[in-house]
Structure 1
Amino acid sequence: MTDRQSYSIIEAEAGFRLPKDHHEYVTAEITQRCRDNLKAVAGVHQALEAISLAKCVASSSDVEKLRVTLKITSLYDYFAPHVFSASQVARGKPAPDLFLFAAEKMNTPADRCVVIEDSVVGIQAAVAAGMMVIGFIGGSHCPPCHAEKLMEAGAIRIFSHMTALPRVLGGL
């Protein structure tokens, strides 16, 4: 879901309108906190170096937030210019639009794509797009029962350490 879509839900459920500058304020606050605290998941640089397949990012975050966070974590150069946002399609995850858009831009048939996802709605989107999806549970935001939820959503495998990703992909 895009930030703007989530704001609409918040407004509807809370019964009030957010200030007009809310998005800009939140974006600036998130950017500053990312600059101060954001770190790449352990082992991700090594994993990306070891994977020779074409790579992209297809995220619900807006394009600018993606650019900033990928640069802060020194991941941008692994993916650029193949960084895609839900703001570029009609419907965000769990709809398949974003993944299908990314596959088209990467000139790769959907059934030849492998998606690495850490969210249930992301896995649902990848499955709906006809893509193979592997669940990642190594993020600090993943609760103990997260693996089961990702498998129920359609992940074909689960891994918890980024250093295992090249081996997981090699086993497909």
Structure 2
Amino acid sequence: MDTCLPPPRRFDAVLFDCDGVLVDSEAITNGVLCQMLNEAGWALSPQQCLEIFIGKAVRSQAALIARETGRPLTDAWMAQFYARRNARLQAELQAVEGAIAAVQAVHGLLGGRIACASGADLAKVQMQLAKVGLSGYFGVHVFSGHDLARSKPAPDVYLAAAASLGVAPERCLVVEDTTTGVRAGVDAGATVLGLCRAHGAVNTARQLQDAGVADIITHMAQLPAWLARQRSALTA
């Protein structure tokens, strides 16, 4: 699905979001979070929970959780959430279809200049990449918004990822599937490619376009060819 494309650009690095782009984790994590919030007294559906929390750190919504449950968000509650979430991820997590081959291809095409930049906690991101066999492609270039002054939709995590690779943000392609992440990538100065899968998409193509993506793919298998077309157009 093509949007109104800007002129071709040379990309020296690709920065991947994790959840929903590399690993199919959103339904698992959202299911645990929704169940625990209901147990705490906040009656909301899985879809409502997804709309509120997608692409955001749970702690960033502490005031909202406290208001709806009538109790503060504590470290003990978060620890229980992490434990229950991680147990299900370890048991059920799979890579997004086409993601492993796409990462392998892009890693080779760009001489290893790829990074993972997530709004989730670093332990989760690292565990998920290891679970699906992608850790080796990213090495130390894995970043969490939790470790920075601001998480997505602020651009900090993408700026940190670009800096770690020694590439200017303007020469980076970001791959994102949520409007929260798209705004982070755009505000970092990168070009953002939106992933809107036929099954499992959390935002519509129109929502991603309105947030500022340069183009949209519907399957991760399309990424290497999309990147190669950009490179070819510059040399044509």
TM-score (norm 1): 0.92
Q: 1:19 to 1:96 in 2, by over 3 A?
A: closer
**Counterpart residue number, 1:104:** 163
For the 8 Å contact 1:41–1:139, the answer to whether it is kept is: no
**Counterpart residue number, 2:229:** 171
For the 8 Å contact 1:44–1:162, the answer to whether it is kept is: yes
**Counterpart residue number, 2:147:** 88
Using the TM superposition, give the Cα deviation of residue 94 of structure 1 relative to its aligned residue in structure 2, in angstroms: 1.1
**Counterpart residue number, 2:204:** 146
Q: Provide the rounded CA distance (Å) in 2 between the counterparts of 1:139 and 1:97.
A: 30
Q: How many residues align?
A: 171
RMSD: 1.7
TM-score (norm 2): 0.68
Query: Which string of whole-angstrom CA distances, capped at 9 and with x for unpartnered residues, describes residues 17-59 of structure 1?
Result: 2344111111111111011111001111111121122111000
Using the TM superposition, give the Cα deviation of residue 139 of structure 1 relative to its aligned residue in structure 2, in angstroms: 7.5
Query: Which string of whole-angstrom CA distances, capped at 9 and with x for unpartnered residues, describes residues 98-137 of structure 1?
Result: 1111111111101001000001011011111110000011
**Counterpart residue number, 1:115:** 174
Using the TM superposition, give the Cα deviation of residue 63 of structure 1 relative to its aligned residue in structure 2, in angstroms: 0.7
Percent sequence identity is 34
**Counterpart residue number, 2:219:** 161
**Counterpart residue number, 1:43:** 98
Q: Does 1:6 align with 2:65?
A: no
* SS of corresponding position for 1:127: helix
Q: 1:151 to 1:139 in 2, by over 3 A?
A: same
Q: 1:99 to 1:32 in 2, by over 3 A?
A: same
* SS of corresponding position for 1:21: helix
Structure 2: gaps of 5 or more residues: 1-55, 231-236
- Structure ranking higher on relative contact order (CA contacts 8 Å, 6+ apart): 2
Q: Provide the rounded CA distance (Å) in 1 between the counterparts of 2:162 and 2:190.
A: 10
More off after superposition, 10-19 vs 31-40:
10-19
Q: Provide the rounded CA distance (Å) in 1 between the counterparts of 2:198 and 2:142.
A: 20
Query: Which string of whole-angstrom CA distances, capped at 9 and with x for unpartnered residues, describes residues 47-77 of structure 1?
Result: 1121122111000011101111111111111
Q: Provide the rounded CA distance (Å) in 2 between the counterparts of 1:9 and 1:107.
A: 38
For the 8 Å contact 1:3–1:62, the answer to whether it is kept is: no
Q: Provide the rounded CA distance (Å) in 2 between the counterparts of 1:163 and 1:157.
A: 15
Which of 5, 21, 39 is equivalent to 2:76?
Answer: 21
Q: Provide the rounded CA distance (Å) in 1 between the counterparts of 2:191 and 2:128.
A: 26
Q: Provide the rounded CA distance (Å) in 1 between the counterparts of 2:199 and 2:116.
A: 19
Q: Provide the rounded CA distance (Å) in 2 between the counterparts of 1:112 and 1:64.
A: 28
Which of 66, 77, 87 is equivalent to 2:125?
Answer: 66
Q: Provide the rounded CA distance (Å) in 1 between the counterparts of 2:198 and 2:122.
A: 21
